[in-house]
Each structure stands twice: as C-alpha cells, then as structure tokens.
Structure 1
Amino acid sequence: MVTHVSLEAHDDERGALIAFLEAERGGIRRALIGLTAEQAASRPSASELSLAGLLKHVAEVEQGWIARAKGEPTAVQRDESNWHECFVLVGDETVEGQLAYWEKVAAETEAFIRSAPSLDETFLLPEAPWFPPEGRVSIRWVALHLIRETARHAGHADIIRESLDGATAFELVAREQAG
C-alpha cells in the first residue's frame, strides 16, 4: 500500500496525477487495516456509510469514469432501484474481493492515463441533471475528479475508522509501516 506520494512519480503531469490518486486510495485501504468483516460493514456514526461501502463505491466510481472516458459501458449499471447497493457489500462480496477489484481498476486507470495521446482529449459526459447537456470533459479533468472523489471518501474513512476503535490515520500509517 502507498502511504505517501512518491517524488519519483512526479516525472511528468501524468505521473503526478496517478501518484496523488494512489496516495488517496491508500487512505481508504489503510482505514481497513486489521478490521473484521463486521467492523468494516458497520456504520458507527450518524451516516449510512461504512468502510466496506466506501471501498466498493470508490472502486465502482473509478471504473465508471474510466469506462466513460474510453467510450465503454460501465461494469455496473446503477439507477434509482439499485443505487443503494453502491455503498454496501451484497451477496458474496467481501472486503478482500473489493480490494482486489479496486487494484485491477487502479491498474486500468493508470494504463489509460499513461496511454492517452493527450490529457486534453475530451469525452461526452453522461446525461444527468448536474451536468450540462452535451457536456464534455478532458482526461485531465477525470483524473482530477477521481483524486477529489477519492480524497473526499478517504476523509470519511478516517472518521469512520476513528469512530470504530479510536485509530487515527497517523496510527494506521505507523501500523502499516511496521509491517
């Protein structure tokens, strides 16, 4: 797991974007260290969010944005009938399975960002009330959006983890580094 932004990764803009995204992913993964499945699925605050649900959500969102940027369908189709399943593990889903899935998604994201002819290339936004009709965004925009989305949820993960057992991000980094 990455616990910091590697200076070596800043060899160019693409490397910097990927490194910052990976650092934010690490915040969510770290929040899960040492938890049972029940703890990861619990909701210890007034929010409906759990660490397992945040993990699933960020992986699905990342996959969805990269699929859109590539002009491909998203792996999971969400609408009003199943939107709530984006934030909870269902059926035989596990934290370990979601971590493995996210690792695959992260590799696909990095490959896409590195292979794009230009970060200025654009793609059509999905139809949604919060996007302009026929709106377009760049690959750079989607990379920055994923950093922002993941960072927001890494903050949620910090709060949830601290509510579960008092562990802070600093303590979790120290645990991770200790092995």
Structure 2
Amino acid sequence: MAQISPEVLGDERGTLLAFVEAQRTAIRESLLGLSEEQAASRPSVSELTLSGLLKHVAECELSWLRMAQQRPNELGRTEETWAEAFRLVDGESVPSVLAFWNDVAEQTAAFVAEVPSLDATFPLPPAPWFPENGKVSIRWMLLHLVEEFARHAGHADIVRESLDGTRAMG
C-alpha cells in the first residue's frame, strides 16, 4: 500500500507519485542487506536477479520520462544492448544504480509537478506492442509505472525469498 506522508500532496499528482514511490520502495527494499554477489545471483530457473530488476526499472522509468518529455533517451538502448538493461555491467553496482534511479525519480517528480495537466499526451514510438500513431497521457504513464514497478516488485519478492527466506510482507 502507498505510504501517506505529510510531504505528499493529497491531489491527484501527489497521490499517483506516492503510489509510484511505494512500488519503487518495495523494489529497493528487496536488496537490503545483500552483497553484490547475492543481488546478482539467480536462485531459480528465471534469468531475473535483484540487481538486474533494479537496473531494468530504473531504465524503464527514464525511458518513459524521456518519451513524455519528448526528448531523446541518453541510454540509447538498441536490440544489441537490450539485455544489458537486466544486468549490471562496466563497474556498475547496486549503490550506483540506486543513485541513478533516485535521480530519475527526482526528474519524474519535477516533470509531473511542472506539466500543465495530467491529461497532456505524448506520442508512443513505433513498436509492435504500441498502436500505430498511439499517444498516452502523463496520467497513463504514471499508472503504467505503478503497474510496471508492482509487477517487478513481485518478482523481487520471489527472488529475495528464494535467496534467504526474507519476505517483504513479514
């Protein structure tokens, strides 16, 4: 459940950002107390790791933010580098990816605060999973981030429990 704090505005923007942040927190907390080796381990037949999930959701948020801002994504993932979005490479660490994600989260919050309306739309890129000439609103993007992060928070719960028995809900 989204945590309610005095700093969170009770309006729609604040509420949506609170739910996004609650799911971010669930993913972040799945990594607490783990070594880099544990965070990168695969305790099941799945390819998913906690550090890989962390990197994926951070990059996913940046991608949606850049689409909404109608700016190029500086990560520039290609078909050849797509798999790198699910594992740490080139000296990356859990703390460095957490810092990256914190920066992206701050950018998202600032963008959402500045956008004139949550009804503002932006175009979706050409992709087989998007409708041709599709557009979505800022509100839709925030709800999609809740959905995306919640899905991966569930994955993270399972991976963490498989590693050491730690469960998110007690």
Q: How many residues matched?
A: 169
TM superposition outliers: structure 1 runs of 4+ over 2 Å: 7-10
1:65 is aligned to 2:34 = no
Tell me how large the CA RMSD over aligned residues is: 1.2
User: 2:42 and 2:116 mapped to 1: Cα distance?
Assistant: 43
Partner of 1:151: 150
- How do residues 20-169 of structure 1 correspond to structure 2 at under 5 angstroms? 20-169=19-168
Deviation at 1:54, TM superposition (A): 0.3
Structure with the larger helix share: 1
Length-normalised TM-score, structure 1: 0.91
Partner of 1:6: 4
Amino acid at match of 1:6: I
**Cα contact 1:21–1:150 (8 A) shared by 2:** yes
User: 1:23 and 1:7 mapped to 2: Cα distance?
Assistant: 11
Amino acid at match of 1:108: Q
Gaps of 5+ in 1: 172-179
Amino acid at match of 2:35: T
**Cα contact 1:63–1:75 (8 A) shared by 2:** no
**Cα contact 1:64–1:75 (8 A) shared by 2:** no
Deviation at 1:114, TM superposition (A): 1.2
Identity %: 56
Amino acid at match of 1:35: L
- 1:76-99 Cα deviation digits (max 9, x unpaired): 112221111010000110000000
Deviation at 1:46, TM superposition (A): 1.2
- 1:12-43 Cα deviation digits (max 9, x unpaired): 00000000000000101110000000000001
Length-normalised TM-score, structure 2: 0.96
SS at match of 1:76: coil
User: 2:154 and 2:59 mapped to 1: Cα distance?
Assistant: 18
User: 1:141 and 1:63 mapped to 2: Cα distance?
Assistant: 15
**Cα contact 1:41–1:52 (8 A) shared by 2:** yes
- 1:138-161 Cα deviation digits (max 9, x unpaired): 000101101100111000000000
Amino acid at match of 1:156: H
SS at match of 1:170: coil
Deviation at 1:170, TM superposition (A): 2.6
